[in-house]
Amino acid sequence: MGKIQMVDLKGQYLKIKDEVDAGIQNVIDNTAFINGPIVKEFAEHLSQYMGGCYVTPCANGTDALQIALMALELKPGDEVIVPAFTYVASAEVIGLLGLTPVMVDVDYETFNVTVDNIKKALSPKTKAIIPVHLFGQSCDMGPILAFAKEHNLFVIEDNAQAIGAEYTFSDGHRAKTGTMGTIGCTSFFPSKNLGCYGDGGAIFTKDEKLAERIHMIANHGQRVKYHHSVIGCNSRLDSIQAAILDVKLKHLDEYGKARYEAASYYTKQLKAFDPEEKFFITPKELPNSTHVYHQYTLKIKNNKRDELKAYLAEQGIPSMIYYPLPLQEQEAFKPITRAAESLDKSKECAYSVLSLPIHTEMTKDIQDLVINNIKEFYK
């Protein structure tokens, strides 16, 4: 079976090796390392996949979020609502641009922000909301978008963990996560659901004017070479990464399905073992979103999380804590943040979550080993 890993990028690569290698070699042969034709081709394919929006590839997911905020022309002092339980990047860019992050609590069951929590954070200075589709499932976007519209707020979806997930609105129409808000952002970090072999990211919008502005900002604020109309940055997706992503995009739905099946198996077995949730809580799936399980995350009860993690590690089973501290407890955010309400659920999540190995190459054997060791721990 080999060593169990949180993600198996090698196993995944071996299945598409010929195509990936050819794509990389092609870039080298043409020496079109920066902004080669493959970058544009990949962006077009990704746009089709996302249901037809403007796509600006960029250097990483954090840049994507930063460029999104820059494109919306927010001013220092403007407030941006962000969940307290997320990866730091979602809030970091707000602080970086001199804006004020306003943290809101997440829902204990789904790990995502809800419109009710967002409402409590609204102030006259609120300009934008960054809903994060954490762990691979969409936030309940219908009510969030309606609220944003009512109060004239921009919505920037942090879709770094949920690319490929689909949300169904109450009228039945469906949309890919990352295409519902004003702007959507994603990351192609290697372990993400659509990951390259280095850093990468992309920005989505359906607004043509905004897309132009995003494109310009990612490219030194220039439309015409050496003519800079605004302060921008240098954020590009390498041609080699685009070539790899163009191959992997074709498999993205199949990858999402493999992750979903692995998650379902975990849940079925773990629930059978602990039907009354005495030991842990398995992930909850929203009825109006598909789940692409970027992470399979349990909440461990009775303060046993760290003990269980250590036990599994002794048995050669990795697990990860995404994320050990809620943002309000991070040193960097204390001086700049406004917290609108109690952030207890975010804290509870941070102190109890444990993510199990999940990836596109999971086998029942691997999963049984993980599951049996969890059972063994509770014996």
- Contact residues for ligand PLP, defined by CB under 6 A: 60-62, 86-87, 89-90, 132, 158, 160-161, 187, 189, 199, 201
Distance between CA atoms of 51 and 200, rounded to whole angstroms? Answer: 21
Q: What one-character DSSP code corresponds to residue 106?
A: P
Considering Cα of 98, then 102, then 106, then 112, what sign does the dihedral take? negative
Looking at beta carbons only, is 79 or 199 nearer to ligand PLP? 199
With CB atoms as reference, the residue minimizing the distance to ligand PLP is 61
**Min dist. Cβ of residue 376 to ligand PLP (A):** 31
Distance between CA atoms of 178 and 168, rounded to whole angstroms? Answer: 13
Looking at beta carbons only, is 188 or 279 nearer to ligand PLP? 188
**Min dist. Cβ of residue 160 to ligand PLP (A):** 3
**Min dist. Cβ of residue 269 to ligand PLP (A):** 27
**Min dist. Cβ of residue 158 to ligand PLP (A):** 5
Looking at beta carbons only, is 187 or 290 nearer to ligand PLP? 187
Looking at beta carbons only, is 118 or 308 nearer to ligand PLP? 118
Please report, for residues 48, 233, 303, 317, 326, the alpha-carbon distance to residue 228 in angstroms, rounded to integers and kept in the order given: 31, 11, 55, 52, 39
Looking at beta carbons only, is 62 or 100 nearer to ligand PLP? 62
**Residue 290's Cα: distance from chain center in Å?**
14
Q: What is the CA radius of gyration of the chain?
A: 21
Reference 202, options 9, 37, 67; nearest CA is 67
**Min dist. Cβ of residue 124 to ligand PLP (A):** 28
**Min dist. Cβ of residue 302 to ligand PLP (A):** 28
Looking at beta carbons only, is 256 or 270 nearer to ligand PLP? 256
- Is residue 347 within 8 A of residue 326, CB to CB? The reply is yes
**Residue 275's Cα: distance from chain center in Å?**
30
